Amino acid sequence: MNKWITLVVGAVLCVGCSAPFSQSKSPMTRPSFNADSAYSYVSAQVNFGPRMPDSKAHTECAVWLVQQLKRFGAEVTLQQGRMINYAGHEQQIYNIIASFVPQGSQEERILLAAHYDSRPWCDEEDEYSQRFQGVPGANDGASGVGVLLEIARQLGIKQANNEPFTPTDIVLFDCEDMGTPAFYTGQQRENTWCLGSQLWAREYAYGTEMPLDLKYRFGVLLDMVGAPDAVFPKEYYSVQFANDYVETIWRIAQRLGHGRYFSAALSYPITDDHYYVNTTTGIPMVDIIHYDARGNAGFASWWHTTEDDMRHIDRNTLQAVGEVVMSLL
Ligand SMILES: [Zn+2]
């Protein structure tokens, strides 16, 4: 993802509909979520190597993700398309969509998403020679996907036991992190980040491929959700487009005892996959993202460097995020 460096001017718009969930602040029942399992899914992705678009590791990881999601009982579809990348070339995109819809359910769905690609360049490295290798992407990519795979496993168990849950689609976006590298001197293009979600959102809003009855109540995006010192502020666009859901999610985090991760601070606008979902489809989508304005770049020191590896993944953080998201289903 990319941070908007422009200063935010003007008031934050709040979406004015009724609160979607209970307002209670009392402790709530802890949902099933296994952090060891989520951790192993993060590690398995990192073990493929950097999942840069068009690489062998990217393809192998995509195949593995589809296998896992099918094994958990999801109906999996691959959305393919082409987008223009930072260099003006056509970029092949493969979004992975896993659907869990309990039989007979007419409810609107919840959309959960993360990106499974990793950035092709460590362009935040001080050392010039290291900038041309792929980011290991343990946090930036694999952490969100790891949490969602464990959620998929839990939904599969519920589905098998005929336990109720909200119909849920898990979308693993491709090519989120291929935005113009810092060292690129060619023509600067707009909208070079989040190519997979741009494709998905455009297809949802204007395309003919998706079923007409595909309706979402809201969405949650996970990005960089594994660091031991993770701080998730209320991200600017999330507040602008999906404030009721931000409030609900942050309140659930408090009630589950995970308030140390979910900060009341408002962040800068962050160009992440949820931006395109919000602006193109109108589905209100919240980004849970590790951002800390006290840092130089606003992101952790390992961000877009060779250091974004398993040393910065903590089971407690995965557990906190997993429980909060599971509570919404
Ligand atoms: Zn990134």
Distance (Å) from CA 252 to ligand 1 centroid: 27
Query: Residue 5 falls within a domain, yes or no?
Result: no
Is 3 inside a domain boundary? no
Tell me whether residue 8 is in a domain: no
Ligand 1 centroid to 119 CA: how many Å?
6
With contact defined as beta carbons under 8 Å apart, do 197 and 176 qualify? yes
Give the distance (Å) from ligand 1 centre to CA of residue 159. 33
Distance 34 CA to ligand 1 centre (A): 26
Tokens of 47: 């073990």
Structural domain contains residue 104: yes
**How far, in Å, from the CA of 1 to the mean position of ligand 1?**
5
Q: What is the pTM of this model?
A: 0.92
* CATH code at position 295: 3.40.630.10
3-state secondary structure of 82: strand
Positive or negative CA dihedral for 45, 48, 50, 53? negative
Residue 303 C-alpha to ligand 1 middle, in angstroms? 7
Overall size of the chain counted in residues: 329
Q: Domain limits at 140?
A: 17-326
Handedness of CA 64, 66, 69, 70 (dihedral sign): negative
Dist. CA 47 → ligand 1 center (Å): 18
Nearest-angstrom CA–CA distance, 115 and 185: 26
CA atoms within 13 A on the CB side of 53: 24
Contact indicator for 248, 316 with CB cutoff of 8 Å? no
In sequence order, the 6+-apart residues with CB closer than 8 A to the CB of 190 are none
Q: What integer pLDDT is reported at residue 18 of this predicted model?
A: 41
- Taking the centre of ligand 1 as the mean of its atom positions, its distance from the CA of residue 90, in whole angstroms, is 21
**Is residue 243 domain-resident?**
yes
The whole-number pLDDT of residue 100 equals 95
Query: Is residue 12, in this structure, part of any structural domain at all?
Result: no
* Å from CA of 21 to ligand 1 middle: 31
DSSP state of 289: E
**7 within domain boundaries:** no
- How many domains does one find in the chain? 1
- Inside any domain, residue 133: yes
Asked if residue 61 lies in contact with residue 48, where contact means CB atoms within 8 angstroms, the answer is yes
* Series of mean pLDDT values for 10-residue runs along the chain (329 residues): 42 39 70 98 98 98 98 96 96 97 82 98 90 96 98 97 94 97 91 97 91 90 97 96 98 96 93 97 97 77 94 98 97
- What phi, psi does 163 have (nearest 5°)? -85, 145
Q: From CA 150, how far away is CA 117, in angstroms rounded?
A: 18
Q: Which residue is associated with the tokens 């951790």?
A: 39
The whole-number pLDDT of residue 21 equals: 58
